């Protein structure tokens, strides 16, 4: 973050007292309140990734290394108002309705990359690393309102390391592999609904078709493929078990939604679903981008139809709430700027000094969070759209 001295630095942590004006191509359209989320004590940058329905946000604070090759310092954090709480080492990627937060950290042990997972609950950090974790980068991002944490990991003793070959989940404080048959290499599993249904994908090495799956504690269902070839990246699942994913096939990508376990390839040609737990809402709206004349454009798919959000330049829609509001970023004067879209009206979200930034999440009350772009100086914000 930009370093200020004395009273200027202190002023950064308070709510902006006069709402800033949000604009679209120079026209004032709304007054948007915003506040800056300061980094935890001793950190120089703040990054916010997620927030819950009460507006509590989570992400991390970061302090760059003093000299190469020493590592920097990464602390998972949550913000109640503008007050940061350090949760432990790592970066937070999921928060549920009661304020539990999942965070992870990748370190090197004996030359191998190893992922550790924790959850902040009841005022303390609890280890949620799989007991038989091997080496490599786990897929872990989300947790449900009931505390379910889905992940994929490399299990100790398997023939190949650095390849996630098991999908598992924490439920009620106990870890178990999900009943996916067969388990195997190239499994991706990090998404859950509020009620604890999880979703992921598997890309078998034997050349058989890749597939998307959905699991409860006792059963996994293999869903129909969008096409005969390709792989999938699952982004989000809602409370009715509708799933949004990107289908990669033939050097191309398409946005897909599964409803009642059946896939629909969404219109717009080359496209992708946003890599965000809010990429699908309870009405089945999906957000992401599509390629338009060679430029990525923010896109909403509603009732299976493509909705152009009217953004400028390269852009992406990253999240949609249950009221159908969308947030993302667009390019204005060569720089990314955060936006909010509702019922056909697009507004820009203000930043101090008009700093370039991107929105990362929103909730059903219309609260939005986002960040500036450079890790070592990142600044985090929370906006309230009237």
SS3 content of the chain, % helix, strand, coil (to 5): 5, 50, 45
**335: exposed, middle or buried (C-beta count within 10 Å: 0-12, 13-18, 19+)?**
middle
| Bridge partners, 149 (sequence order) | 170
Range with the poorest average pLDDT among 46-55, 174-183, 304-313: 174-183
Q: Find the mean pLDDT for residues 218-228.
A: 96
Q: What is the mean pLDDT of residues 235-241?
A: 97
pLDDT at 206: 80
Q: Of 183-187, 226-230, 240-244, 358-362, where does mean pLDDT reach its minimum? A: 183-187
Residue 107: how many CB atoms within 10 A of its CB? 12
pLDDT of residue 66: 86
Q: Could you read off the pLDDT of 323-347 as tens digits, one per residue?
A: 999 999 999 999 999 999 999 999 9
How far apart are alpha carbons 152 and 140 in whole angstroms? 7
Q: What is the pLDDT of residue 68?
A: 77
Q: What are phi and psi of 354, to 5 degrees?
A: 60, 40
Q: What would the two tokens of residue 385 be?
A: 């759209």
Q: Is 3.40.50.970 the CATH classification of the domain at 25-327+356-384? A: no
> 110: pLDDT confidence band, cut at 50, 70 and 90?
confident
Mean pLDDT for all residues in the chain: 90
- The percent of residues above 70 in pLDDT, for the chain, comes to 91
Residue 23 predicted with pLDDT over 70: no
Q: How far apart are CA 264 and CA 257, in angstroms?
A: 5
Q: Is the separation of the CB atoms in 221 and 265 below 8 Å?
A: no
Give the model confidence (pLDDT) of 64-88 as tens digits. 998 876 779 999 999 999 999 999 9
Average pLDDT over residues 130-153: 93
pLDDT of residue 10: 26
The pLDDT confidence band at residue 285, using thresholds 50, 70 and 90, is very high
Q: What's the whole-number mean pLDDT along residues 169-176?
A: 96
pLDDT at 29 over 70: no
Residue 338: which H helix or E strand, with range? Answer: strand 335-342
pLDDT surpasses 70 at 96: yes
Q: CA-to-CA distance for 353 and 115, rounded, in angstroms?
A: 38
Q: What is the pLDDT of residue 160?
A: 65
Is the pLDDT at 3 greater than 50? The verdict is no
Domain residue ranges in the chain: 25-327+356-384
């Amino acid at each position: 973050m930009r370093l200020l001295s004395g009273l200027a630095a202190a002023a950064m942590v308070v709510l902006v007292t006069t709402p800033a004006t949000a604009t679209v191509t120079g026209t004032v359209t709304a007054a948007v309140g915003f506040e800056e989320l300061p980094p935890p004590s001793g950190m120089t940058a703040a990054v916010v990734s997620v927030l819950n329905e009460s507006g509590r946000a989570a992400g991390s604070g970061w302090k760059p290394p003093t000299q190469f090759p020493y590592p920097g310092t990464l602390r998972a954090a949550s913000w109640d108002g503008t007050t940061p709480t350090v949760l432990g080492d790592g970066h937070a990627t999921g928060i549920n309705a009661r304020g539990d937060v999942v965070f992870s950290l990748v370190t090197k042990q004996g030359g191998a990359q190893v992922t550790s997972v924790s959850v902040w609950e009841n005022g303390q950090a609890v280890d949620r690393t799989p007991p038989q974790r091997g080496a490599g980068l786990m897929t872990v991002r989300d947790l449900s309102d009931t505390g379910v944490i889905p992940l994929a990991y490399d299990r100790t003793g398997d023939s190949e390391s650095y390849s996630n070959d098991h999908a598992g989940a924490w439920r009620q404080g106990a870890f178990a592999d999900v009943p996916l048959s067969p388990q195997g290499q190239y499994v991706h599993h990090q998404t859950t609904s509020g009620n604890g249904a999880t979703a992921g994908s598997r890309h078998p090495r034997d050349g058989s078709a890749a597939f998307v799956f959905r699991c409860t504690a006792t059963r996994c269902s293999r869903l129909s493929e969008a096409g005969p070839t390709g792989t999938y990246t699952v982004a989000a699942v809602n409370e009715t078990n509708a799933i949004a994913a990107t289908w990669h096939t033939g050097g191309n990508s398409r946005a897909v939604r599964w409803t009642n376990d059946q896939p629909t390839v969404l219109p717009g040609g080359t496209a992708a679903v946003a890599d965000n737990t809010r990429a699908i809402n309870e009405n089945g709206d999906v957000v992401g981008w599509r390629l338009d004349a060679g430029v990525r454009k923010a896109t909403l798919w509603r009732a299976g139809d493509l909705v152009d959000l009217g953004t400028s330049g390269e852009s992406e829609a990253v999240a949609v709430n249950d009221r159908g509001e969308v947030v993302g970023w667009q390019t204005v004067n060569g720089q990314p700027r955060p936006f909010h879209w509702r019922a056909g009206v697009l507004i820009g979200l203000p930043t101090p000094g008009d700093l370039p930034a991107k929105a990362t999440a929103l909730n059903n009350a219309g609260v939005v969070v986002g960040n500036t772009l450079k890790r070592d100086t990142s600044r985090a914000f929370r906006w309230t759209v009237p």
